[in-house]
Amino acid sequence: MSGRPRVGVITFPGSLDDRDAVRAVASMGGSGVRIWHRDRDLDGVDAVILPGGFSYGDYLRTGAIARFAPVMEEVRRFADRGGPVLGICNGFQILCEAGLLPGALIRNRQLRFVCRFVHVRVETSRSPITTGLVPGEVLPVPVKHGEGQFVAADEDLERVEQEGLVVLRYCGPDGTVDDRHNVNGSLGAIAGVRNEAGNVVGLMPHPEHAVDPDVGPTGGQPMLASFLSYALARV
């Protein structure tokens, strides 16, 4: 092992942030491995990223068709073995549709596409993207989505909150959580959640677009650094 975790980045028809994810992984010291949606082998990777975009044109529902892609069978097996899986934006939607994460993502409350930098507050260190962070830390990251409103049935939302499955919440620069900073109307201002085992996480903001200081804030750096460290610790 070279100390560079191999991160598989899956490309679905309509993915558009897969190259950015590979580039961001490399810039943070990992090795990005391109994986096609029809592949049935993850090529021995140490972690998996489902990137943002519009898989299968977002027909039917966001992520609803991608969940049936051949590669998702192996992603599920990888997750069941404890492998770290990160779904970003459309990847988050796919993981929810596949039942690997709780809840669902629907149209933004304002019924408009939103594209801007936001702040998110870390709610737990028990996830692949926050293992090196402290609850309460605030990170600037961009969002760009039309269907990012997190919703769940009352009993599911209660479980998500009580079991500490919320990873990130939309907030102000000082960490204040209120409706002004809830960019899409998500219940509880939830921006990211994890599974019960703690190895699968999804978020609507894009950490892969926030690693280069030459183009903007770098709130994605500590998240991806945590993700790589988490993957390396399992090797």
Domain ranges of the chain: 6-233
Task: Spell out a b/e string for 137-172, using b for 16 or more CB atoms within 10 Å of the CB, else e.
Answer: ebbbbbbbbbbbbbebeeeebeebeeeebbbbbbbe
Catalytic residue among 74, 123, 147, 208: 208
Question: Is 89 annotated in the active site?
Answer: yes
Nearest alpha carbon to residue 26 among 43, 51, 5: 5
Catalytic residue among 89, 119, 145, 209: 89
pLDDT tens per residue across span 18-49: 999 999 999 999 999 999 999 999 999 999 99
- Token pair of 84 as six digits: 């770290």
Nearest alpha carbon to residue 220 among 21, 18, 54, 5: 21
pLDDT tens per residue across span 139-160: 999 999 999 999 999 999 999 9
Question: Is 209 annotated in the active site?
Answer: no
Task: Spell out a b/e string for 28-44, using b for 16 or more CB atoms within 10 Å of the CB, else e.
Answer: bebebbebebebeebee
CATH number of 6-233: 3.40.50.880
pTM of the model: 0.96
Give the confidence band of 1 by pLDDT, cuts at 50, 70, 90. Answer: very low
Distance (Å, whole) CA 117 – CA 98: 28
